[in-house]
Amino acid sequence: MARNKLAAPHLFLNRHFSWLQFNERVLEEARDAKNPLLERVKFLAITASNLDEFVEVRVAGLLQQVEHGIKDPGPDGRTPREVLTELAVRTHAFVNAQYDCWREDLVPGLVDESIRVVNMRALRPAARAHIGNFYTKAVEPLLTPVTIDPAHPFPHVINKAICLAFLLCPKRRGSLPYLGVVTVPRALPRLVQVPSANDAVEYVFLSDVIHAFAERLYHGYEVLSAAAFRVTRNSNLYLEAEESRSIMDSVDAQLHSRRKGEAVRLEIEASANQEIIDRLVANFRLAPWQIFRVNGPPNLSRIAYLYDAIARPDLKFRSFVPRELALKPGPSALFELIRKRDVLLHHPYDSYSSVVRFIESAATDPDVLSIKQTLYRTSENSPIVRSLIEAAAKKEVAVVVELKARFDEASNIRWARNLQDAGVQVFHGLVGLKTHCKLALIARRERGGKIRQYAHLGTGNYNPSTARYYTDLSLLTSDARITAAVQNVFNYLTAYSERPQYLPLFVAPLNLGKSCLSLIERETAHARAGRPAFIFAKVNALLDERIIQALYRASQAGVQIELIVRGACALRPGVRGVSSRIRVRSVIGRFLEHSRIFAFGNGGSTEVYLGSADWMQRNINERVEVMFRLKDPALYTQVFTQVISPYLADTEKTRYLLPSGDYVRGREAGLLSVSRNGFRFNAQEFLIGFSEAHEDMQALPPLPRFVKLPAPRKGAEKTSLSPAHAKSSA
């Protein structure tokens, strides 16, 4: 097939529909009775949070394209208006499925476990009196009731805030009903626990409490009707570079605008009076498809509160203790280990504490002279940031903080200012590019006065909190070529000091995309020459047209291609003559699959790469990203046996992408698992068990036929043990 035919629209799936399918797979986990009940509640809350971001960014962006008259079709041939029209139908169907899950599956399940979410009318007198006291003391002082009239315009409703709308009739004078609006305080939990007469745990929604006492707020009015509602606004930031304004000031100013962006969606209780809906729609200027009448609480993401508030381990996933890196006593023990060999960690199965310790040790070690680090997202009380602040008093510290990390902008501005106040040199990357690479570099004076550099390169953020439930990989190394290249990347970020190449690293936007294409094309050439050829990639999204077309060409040449794409995927697998040798999986389970891994057969000399970038146009062209090769055969054997093999063998949490664009379980797709005789295998649960028991890797299912494991170098570990396991087994 000619190369230009690989750009045909029918060969590409729509990115927005594909993303919505990803959220549908998360919803499947909420409906799956094999998952613990409170975990299912959490999955449902995640789908709501995911959808919020999708609406305020992706749907809002499509709306703007339509309003601006943009008619250019995407790779799948659809125009923005066509996508928006179909997306409206699909999104409404998805929201209906969410609320069906809540009402039909989760609420009855919670009741069976003596956990009830009730309305105020169902409360016993004693419980109602308790809630009345709570309302008087804790809620009413925070409320600002508004009645809409010429002197009181419609209040500004901030993005995603729960509000109550009231239809009010004055008791002493006849007139048309007024509209009243009250914002539910964000400072209070959305679910309020009420006293129970037995062992049951009971909650009532805060909005229901306010509704019950509405006539206290609106003296002189009769409350004819009430409904909880929520407005989602356009949350895209539109930054313009100005010589007179720093990036920090620009982002800070735009954050205030975000709260006032154009309304994109109105969620309102299905029982709402039509007059209330009509007045809200007129105020927010919304089309009918933007109105979501929901049979339940308008903000499902808030039910995650139940997961944290209810101490029922029997209704949650079994807890486990990640492997710790076995080290000798002493502050320099970690540096001594990294000097001897590279260390590869697989989080959350390997504890993230080793990465934290890497930065903490650098901060306190008197022989460490400087620390450089990138920060994209981090935790609220980050021990890493605290260590950087502590280190600034004694050594050179430079941090590149990405202020434009979506929805973490305010947090990152706060961290950047705190770091600056402590004496850290803070940079904000390059104008027009997001700094998304995960790098840390430490310079340390060794014996004899020699300065040695140590580096951390990762696939995930420097966030110890999310590292407990995101799967990611970390490399700790003192390899001089890698550390020198990392140093050059920091020079690029802080001084725009651009080099022709950064080997052994690939760096976006400079050469990472071209390098990925070259690796795919090299595999294509191997296949045409009859040499061993395969491609494995594990990414969060696959949307870049050039990469997809290169994979199509590789498949046509005979390359076997296995892809694990967690979220949106525009590649259409299984098309005869184009992608018949490409198989796409999505794994949705207990942990969020976040690691980016790439493996190439290379004619029998296998290469494995890790990185921070997905195969998306924005990662390749609009961000600073880093991709790096694992040189030690013991480490890439570890990746094959601890990641690739288990995930390709998974039968429980894997869905396969069909040529139609639908996702189905393996048995529905007519695909056999790696093991036979009805074998059931959950990769994430297996890796938890392995991290706890250090079981022999012979327990792993066999590798797929196309995977040829490279032999470890002489003297290297013969099994894919984590550093801690290797040491304890010695």
Tens digit of pLDDT for each residue in 183-225? 999 999 999 999 887 788 999 999 999 999 999 999 889 999 9
Q: How confident is the model at residue 392 (pLDDT cuts 50, 70, 90)?
A: very high
Spatial distance between the Cα atoms of 458 and 345, rounded to a whole number of angstroms: 9
667: tokens are 């048995």
pLDDT of residue 82: 97
| % pLDDT > 90, the chain | 75
Q: How confident is the model at residue 257 (pLDDT cuts 50, 70, 90)?
A: very low
pLDDT of residue 259: 44
pLDDT of residue 243: 40
pLDDT of 158 over the 50 cut: yes
pLDDT of 254 over the 90 cut: no
pLDDT of 677 over the 80 cut: no
Q: How confident is the model at residue 703 (pLDDT cuts 50, 70, 90)?
A: very low
Known catalytic membership, residue 346: no
Spatial distance between the Cα atoms of 375 and 403, rounded to a whole number of angstroms: 9
Phi, psi of 504 (to 5 degrees): -90, 20
DSSP 121: G
pLDDT of 356 over the 90 cut: yes
Which residues 6+ apart lie within 8 Å of 51 measured at CB?
A: 23, 91, 94, 95, 98
Q: How confident is the model at residue 414 (pLDDT cuts 50, 70, 90)?
A: confident
pLDDT of residue 667: 64
Report which listed range, 310-324, 406-420, 656-670, 674-688, is most confident. Answer: 310-324
Spatial distance between the Cα atoms of 44 and 385, rounded to a whole number of angstroms: 32
pLDDT of residue 407: 62
The mean pLDDT value for 474-478 works out to 98
Q: 173-182, 345-354, 524-533, 575-584 — which is least confidently predicted?
A: 173-182
Q: How confident is the model at residue 248 (pLDDT cuts 50, 70, 90)?
A: low
Q: 23-27, 171-175, 629-633 — which is least confidently predicted?
A: 171-175
373: three-class secondary structure by DSSP = strand
The mean pLDDT value for 244-265 works out to 58
Q: By C-alpha distance, which of 517, 557, 550 is closest to 533?
A: 557
More confident residue, 244 or 22: 22
Contact in structure between 214 and 166 (CB atoms under 8 Å): yes
Q: Which residues pair with 657 in a beta bridge?
A: 663
pLDDT of residue 246: 54
Spatial distance between the Cα atoms of 456 and 464, rounded to a whole number of angstroms: 15
Q: What is the pLDDT of residues 507-518, one digit of tens each?
A: 999 999 999 999
Q: 145-159, 201-215, 490-504 — which is least confidently predicted?
A: 145-159
pLDDT of residue 713: 38
pLDDT of residue 678: 61
Query: Choosing from 436, 456, 526, 594, which is the catalytic residue?
Result: 436
Q: 126-130, 196-200, 497-501 — which is least confidently predicted?
A: 196-200
Spatial distance between the Cα atoms of 96 and 1, rounded to a whole number of angstroms: 43
Which residues 6+ apart lie within 8 Å of 9 measured at CB?
A: 73, 75, 76, 77
pLDDT of 707 over the 60 cut: no
Whats the size of the chain, residue-wise? 730
The mean pLDDT value for 129-152 works out to 92
Q: 34-43, 527-536, 687-696 — which is least confidently predicted?
A: 687-696
Q: What is the pLDDT of residues 53-80, one digit of tens each?
A: 999 999 999 999 999 899 999 999 999 9
Q: 108-117, 246-255, 372-381, 710-719 — which is least confidently predicted?
A: 710-719
pLDDT of residue 236: 76
Reported in sequence order, the residue ranges of 566-679 that DSSP labels E, i.e. its strands, are: 582-587, 592-593, 596-600, 607-611, 623-630, 654-657, 663-665
Q: By C-alpha distance, which of 313, 344, 315, 339 is closest to 328?
A: 339
Spatial distance between the Cα atoms of 217 and 164, rounded to a whole number of angstroms: 12
- Tokens 């790098």 — which residue? 439
Average pLDDT of the chain is 88
pLDDT of residue 728: 27
More confident residue, 575 or 692: 575
Q: How confident is the model at residue 380 (pLDDT cuts 50, 70, 90)?
A: confident
pLDDT of 552 over the 70 cut: yes
Q: How confident is the model at residue 364 (pLDDT cuts 50, 70, 90)?
A: very high
| Domains and their CATH numbers in the chain | 3-315 (3.30.1840.10), 333-495 (3.30.870.10), 508-729 (3.30.870.10)
Which residues 6+ apart lie within 8 Å of 401 measured at CB?
A: 375, 412, 415, 416, 419, 426, 427, 428
